[in-house]
């Protein structure tokens, strides 16, 4: 009896039908408005994820590059300037030369970068002299173990994304022995 009206005992009509065509159309329009709004948010989210992903990959790549550069230095190097590219043979800190046991040089504290242990890159990975205009900051520190035979090299790279709530940062660590100094 769907869609038909019938008379009750009192002679009053009642509806046995479900939704009318107008009710169905109104529901469809409401659903369509919701779907269109969600599609707009989806587009923004995809764009943000792509941008953040690219920035995270660049940050990791630049961190790895600095770590490899420091690994290539001699254990007792105290002069190579690794804040430049290509590194200069003099004018820098190298791997801090001869260090006492448990000593640390450099810093990986973004609030206070240590001179000689920080460099800056633009968005394409090219060195820039100062933080203004830089897209990435790389800081490093070298720590000698108690025996004086093992240095721990730590590199922190962070994206300097203005306005980002939490720009990506990467920390990498490697060990270097004095074998074959």
- Using one digit for the tens of pLDDT, what is the confidence trace for 103-116? 999 999 999 999 99
Say what the pLDDT of residue 1 is: 45
Which of these, 7, 4, 34, 35, lies nearest to 17 by C-alpha position? Answer: 4
Say what the pLDDT of residue 2 is: 52
Query: In a 10 Å sphere around its CB, with 0-12 CB exposed, 13-18 middle and 19+ buried, how is residue 178 labelled?
Result: middle
- Is 7 a member of any domain? no
Say what the pLDDT of residue 67 is: 97
- Is 26 a member of any domain? no
Domain count, the chain: 1
- Is 23 a member of any domain? no
Q: What is the pTM of this model?
A: 0.74
Return d(Cα 131, Cα 41) in angstroms, integer. 34
Burial 78-107 (b: 16+ CB within 10 A, else e): eebbbbeeebeeeebbbbbeebeeeeebbb
- Is 3 a member of any domain? no
- Is 15 a member of any domain? no
Say what the pLDDT of residue 133 is: 85
Residue ranges making up the domain that contains 56: 32-177
- Is 4 a member of any domain? no
Which of these, 171, 132, 138, lies nearest to 152 by C-alpha position? Answer: 171
- Is 170 a member of any domain? yes
**Which residue stretches of the chain have pLDDT < 70?**
1-18, 47-48, 50, 163-164, 180-181
């Amino acid at each position: 009896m769907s869609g038909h009206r019938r008379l009750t005992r009192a002679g009053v009509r009642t509806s046995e039908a479900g939704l009318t065509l107008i009710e169905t159309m109104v529901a469809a329009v409401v659903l369509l408005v919701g779907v269109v709004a969600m599609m707009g948010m989806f587009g923004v989210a995809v764009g943000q994820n792509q941008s953040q992903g690219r920035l995270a990959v660049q940050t990791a790549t630049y961190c790895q590059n600095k770590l490899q550069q420091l690994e290539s230095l001699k254990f007792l190097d105290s002069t190579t300037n690794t804040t430049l590219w290509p590194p200069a043979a003099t004018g820098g800190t190298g791997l801090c030369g001869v260090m006492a046991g448990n000593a640390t040089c450099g810093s990986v504290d973004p609030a206070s970068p240590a001179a000689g242990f920080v460099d800056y890159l633009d968005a394409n990975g090219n060195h820039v002299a100062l933080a203004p205009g830089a897209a990435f900051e790389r800081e490093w520190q070298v720590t000698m173990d108690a025996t004086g035979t093992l240095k721990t090299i730590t590199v922190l790279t962070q994206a300097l994304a203005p306005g980002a709530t939490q720009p990506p940062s990467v920390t990498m660590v490697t060990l270097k022995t004095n074998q074959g100094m």
